[in-house]
């Protein structure tokens, strides 16, 4: 049988093998074609996905989407952005006030502007029905800030703070007085004993135009308690520290002497031989008679009230001003020293000299008088500046 097979012509010997080779070749070409087509389709789809946002932008260039207003808006509205607000938070506020048409539109505009992350908390004067991009630009423009800035100088009394609120914020004086008389409305801590003096932190505040007197004053109290907490002063020491600091604030205007003046106060409170516990501070005498500056008259010095530290030993019953945080820190932890007296001998430079005896102190007082006699214009200017600041 094999011999017969061997004798067959070549074209009849292995037909199955030739057919099989051609089939495999066709299969390989088909597979390669399929793979190439798949890759081509994949690349086409992938490119379309990447290009679509740009194509959509071009298509929408002159036609705002249905969920966005067009233009700069109309009318006027004041919106307030709280501290810590995200882009989504701002979007919700703007939609609620009909500044933008949708949160999505604003978030898209917010994300498209790399400056948007610098938008600050506060109040802004904006318009209704603005385009999302115009709203972002408006929030980035400092000119649109709608807050009222008010600075409370260090050493202001509560009455002076009240007067400034009336003048700057436009409050009714009776409204401010009513809030100051309500410890609960102010948020005064128990340590204050119901008296706001000393508890209104003297810093610069930015208030929204619709801020109430209660909100403004309670913010000042909150600022004060935060300062005391951050300084690490125990609550039981808060009121006493503020009393001492309020006197220091009124007695000296140069920070380098805050601690030493506070030490003089502490030394006088415990002295049993020279001042016998009396502070003898003009600032407390003036406060007791309703004055905020100048030199006490003989009548002032003779007025018998709890703030007359020439008559009564010990600290006054309450603070006499609203001291700054630097004075409070220096008063809580004054430097060591045995000084009982101090006097500013140069009103222009603020040079202040400290002494342990009355005789030494009197020498420095004469030095001050000589300076005033030699510099009458500078002395008058310094006194006017002090009274203006007070």
Give the mean pLDDT of 320-334: 97
Residue 187: count of CB within 10 angstroms of its CB: 17
Rounded to the nearest integer, the mean pLDDT of the chain is: 87
For residue 126, name the pLDDT band (cuts at 50, 70, 90): very high
The answer on pLDDT for 358 being more than 50 is yes
The answer on pLDDT for 17 being more than 90 is no
pTM to 2 decimal places: 0.73
β-partners of residue 354 are 342
Q: Tens of pLDDT along 268-298?
A: 999 999 999 999 999 999 999 999 888 899 9
Secondary structure class of 147 (helix, strand, coil): coil
Identify the CA nearest to 202 among candidates 331, 327, 315.
327
Instruction: Tell me if 314 sits within 8 A of 277, measured CB to CB.
Output: yes
The answer on pLDDT for 259 being more than 60 is yes
β-strand pairing of 148-151 with 204-207: antiparallel
- What per-residue confidence (pLDDT) applies to 342? 96
Give the mean pLDDT of 98-122: 93
- What per-residue confidence (pLDDT) applies to 30? 61
The answer on pLDDT for 238 being more than 50 is yes
Cα of 208 vs its chain's centroid, Å: 14
Give the mean pLDDT of 101-106: 94
Q: Give 144's DSSP letter.
A: G
Tokens of 138: 């408006």
- What per-residue confidence (pLDDT) applies to 57? 47
Q: What is the per-residue DSSP string for 12-52? A: GT-HHHHHHHHHHHHHHHHHHHHHHHHHHHHHHHHHHHHHH
Tokens of 219: 């913010």
- What per-residue confidence (pLDDT) applies to 21? 53
CA atoms within 13 A on the CB side of 143: 2
Instruction: Tell me if 283 sits within 8 A of 252, measured CB to CB.
Output: no
Higher pLDDT, 242 or 18: 242
- What per-residue confidence (pLDDT) applies to 147? 85
- What per-residue confidence (pLDDT) applies to 377? 84
The answer on pLDDT for 122 being more than 90 is no
Q: Tens of pLDDT along 20-74?
A: 555 565 566 666 666 656 665 566 656 655 555 554 544 444 444 449 999 999 9
Residue 270: count of CB within 10 angstroms of its CB: 7
Tokens of 94: 């703007």
């Amino acid at each position: 049988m094999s011999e017969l097979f061997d004798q067959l012509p070549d074209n009849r010997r292995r037909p199955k093998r030739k057919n099989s080779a051609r089939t495999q070749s066709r299969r390989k070409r088909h597979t390669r074609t399929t793979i190439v087509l798949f890759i081509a389709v994949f690349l086409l789809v992938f490119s379309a996905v990447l290009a679509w946002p740009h194509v959509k932008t071009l298509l929408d260039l002159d036609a705002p989407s249905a969920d966005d207003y067009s233009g700069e808006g109309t009318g006027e509205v004041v919106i307030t952005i709280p501290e810590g607000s995200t882009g989504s938070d701002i979007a919700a506020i703007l939609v609620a006030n009909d500044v933008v048409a949708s949160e999505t539109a604003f978030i898209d505009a917010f994300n498209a502007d790399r400056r948007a992350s610098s938008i600050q908390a506060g109040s802004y004067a904006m318009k209704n029905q603005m385009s999302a991009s115009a709203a972002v630009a408006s929030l980035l423009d400092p000119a649109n800030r709608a807050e009222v800035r008010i600075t409370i100088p260090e050493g202001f009394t509560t009455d002076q703070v009240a007067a400034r609120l009336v003048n700057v914020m436009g409050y009714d004086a009776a409204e401010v007085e009513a809030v100051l008389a309500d410890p609960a409305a102010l948020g005064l801590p128990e340590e204050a004993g119901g008296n706001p003096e000393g508890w209104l932190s003297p810093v610069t505040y930015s208030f929204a135009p619709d801020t109430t007197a209660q909100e403004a004053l309670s913010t000042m109290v909150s600022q004060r308690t935060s300062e005391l907490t951050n300084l690490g002063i125990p609550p039981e020491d808060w009121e006493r520290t503020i009393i001492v600091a309020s006197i220091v604030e009124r007695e000296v205007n140069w920070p380098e002497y805050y601690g030493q003046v506070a030490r003089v106060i502490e030394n006088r409170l415990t002295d049993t031989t020279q001042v016998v516990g009396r502070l003898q501070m003009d600032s407390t005498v003036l406060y007791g008679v309703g004055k905020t500056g100048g030199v006490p008259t003989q009548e002032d010095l003779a007025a018998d009230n709890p703030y007359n530290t020439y008559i009564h030993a010990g600290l006054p019953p309450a603070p006499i001003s609203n001291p700054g945080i630097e004075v409070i820190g220096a008063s809580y932890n004054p430097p060591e020293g045995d000084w009982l007296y101090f006097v500013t001998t140069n009103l222009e430079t603020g040079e202040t000299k400290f002494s342990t005896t009355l005789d030494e102190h009197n020498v420095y007082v004469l030095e001050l008088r000589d300076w005033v006699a030699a510099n009458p214009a500078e002395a008058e200017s310094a006194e006017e500046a002090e009274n203006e600041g007070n």
